[in-house]
């Protein structure tokens, strides 16, 4: 699933016109598709279903709290390598019940 698409010559993420995002927030701006992230997570989770597993997201890759919360709500754990990353996971919106390795 890839939810970054051109519609009538304008780039969209899901149903959001990215030119409007750039106009409101300036550039560069990071934009993520929650649907794409969840789709990739659930595909990997389904592929590993026959095994006892925990998918752990590397916080070093992207510590955006909204993404951490999205993945925590989906059942992901978190791979942390520093106190700052651990704090970000435990103190942030992903906090309660988050599993860290």
pLDDT in tens, 59-85: 999 999 889 999 999 999 999 999 988
Domain ranges of the chain: 51-101
Q: Quick one: average pLDDT of 31-47?
A: 97
Residue 25 has a CB neighbour count (10 Å cut-off) of 11
97: pLDDT strictly greater than 60: no
Going by pLDDT thresholds of 50, 70 and 90, the confidence category of residue 90 is: confident
pTM: 0.84
Residue 16 has a CB neighbour count (10 Å cut-off) of 13
> Can you tell me the distance from the alpha carbon of 65 to that of 49, in angstroms, rounded to the nearest whole number?
27
Q: Quick one: average pLDDT of 8-31?
A: 96
């Amino acid at each position: 699933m890839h939810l970054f698409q051109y519609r009538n010559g304008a780039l969209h993420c899901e149903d959001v016109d990215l030119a409007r995002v750039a106009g409101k927030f300036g550039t560069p701006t990071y934009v993520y598709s929650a649907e794409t992230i969840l789709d990739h997570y659930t595909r990997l989770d389904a592929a590993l279903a026959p095994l006892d597993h925990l998918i752990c997201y590397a916080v070093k890759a992207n510590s955006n709290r909204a993404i951490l919360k999205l993945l925590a709500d989906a059942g992901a754990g978190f791979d942390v390598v520093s106190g700052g990353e651990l704090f970000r996971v435990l103190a942030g919106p992903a906090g309660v019940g988050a599993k860290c390795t």
